[in-house]
């Protein structure tokens, strides 16, 4: 019964966001390969910076699997510089493509076509791919229904008192996945909308002034949503 309430609230939130902002057309990339590269480059980094790095990779004709497999890490480092943490990220990219080479003969489609659980475990076993990067790749590159939790998801959920402040990644992911039908288009649009509304939430100031979710939350309902 609690789960029914939670599912209803989540769907109301989604509808409210969709009405306020419209479809977001995410992920901002052309191919599965670009989604994966972008997912690694955007770790704790503004997308504007990532876009510069991707543009440089495209300019250098590196947005193909063979090119990424063969490119020298030092060269990669310089090209992705604008995305920040470029030493770590260049290495993480190389590790991913080394793995694809050695375990999947560069067959990205086959790799992504695995069952969701196996794909997620394999991604998480790689250095530099944590839960958010893994779920982003699964949802937007593999088009399989894994709910993505990020900084904005946590901020919006805790600010609106749907979950405690310190809910960790997998509990917040379960908060959604336990009660939602696993539909890819819905998950994709929902995450994009949460990022969009997340930008409206001031980083320091509590509350959510100006965000379209503010008027829809009776405290009694909100309190009942917190997981026991």
Would you tell me which residues interact with DNA (CB under 7 A)?
26-28, 38-39, 42-49, 52, 81-82, 84-89, 126-134, 136, 140, 150-152, 169, 195, 198-199, 203-204
- Name which of 82 and 212 has its Cβ closer to DNA: 82
DSSP codes joined into one string, 9-66: HHHHHHHHHHHHH-----S--SSHHHHHHHHHHTTTS-HHHHHHHHHHHHHTT--SHH
Structure tokens at 53: 């790095």
- Name which of 3 and 58 has its Cβ closer to DNA: 58
The whole-angstrom separation of Cα 196 and Cα 218 is 23
- Name which of 6 and 201 has its Cβ closer to DNA: 201
Closest CA to 156 of 175, 178, 139, 137: 175
Rounded to a whole number of angstroms, the minimum distance from the CB of residue 28 to DNA is 5
Structure tokens at 207: 């509350």
Rounded to a whole number of angstroms, the minimum distance from the CB of residue 95 to DNA is 9
Rounded to a whole number of angstroms, the minimum distance from the CB of residue 26 to DNA is 6
Rounded to a whole number of angstroms, the minimum distance from the CB of residue 155 to DNA is 7
- Name which of 28 and 212 has its Cβ closer to DNA: 28
Residue 116's Cβ-side half-sphere holds a number of Cα atoms within 13 Å equal to 13
Rounded to a whole number of angstroms, the minimum distance from the CB of residue 77 to DNA is 8
- Name which of 88 and 158 has its Cβ closer to DNA: 88
The conformation of residue 228, written as its DSSP 8-state character, comes to -
- Give me the numbers of helices (H) and strands (E) for the chain, helices first please: 13, 0
- Name which of 46 and 70 has its Cβ closer to DNA: 46
Rounded to a whole number of angstroms, the minimum distance from the CB of residue 135 to DNA is 8
Closest CA to 187 of 9, 69, 3, 11: 11
């Amino acid at each position: 019964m609690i789960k029914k309430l939670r599912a209803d609230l989540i769907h109301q939130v989604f509808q409210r966001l969709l009405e306020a902002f419209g479809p977001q057309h995410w992920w901002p990339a052309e191919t599965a390969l670009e989604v994966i590269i972008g997912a690694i480059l955007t770790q704790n980094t503004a997308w504007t910076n990532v876009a510069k790095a991707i543009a440089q990779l495209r300019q250098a004709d590196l947005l193909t699997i063979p090119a990424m497999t063969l490119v020298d890490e030092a060269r990669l480092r310089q090209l992705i510089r604008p995305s920040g943490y470029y030493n770590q990220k260049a290495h993480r990219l190389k590790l991913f493509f080394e793995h694809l080479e050695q375990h999947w003969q560069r067959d990205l489609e086959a790799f992504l076509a695995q069952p969701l659980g196996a794909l997620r475990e394999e991604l998480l076993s790689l250095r530099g791919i944590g839960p958010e990067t893994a779920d982003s790749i699964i949802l937007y590159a593999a088009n399989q229904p894994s709910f993505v939790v990020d900084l904005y998801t946590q901020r919006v959920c805790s600010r609106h008192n749907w979950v405690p402040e310190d809910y960790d990644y997998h509990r917040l992911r379960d908060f959604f996945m336990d009660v939602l039908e696993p539909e890819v288009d819905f998950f994709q649009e929902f995450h994009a909308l949460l990022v969009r509304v997340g930008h409206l939430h001031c980083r320091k100031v509590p509350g959510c002034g100006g965000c379209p979710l503010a008027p829809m939350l009776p405290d009694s309902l909100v309190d009942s949503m917190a997981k026991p």
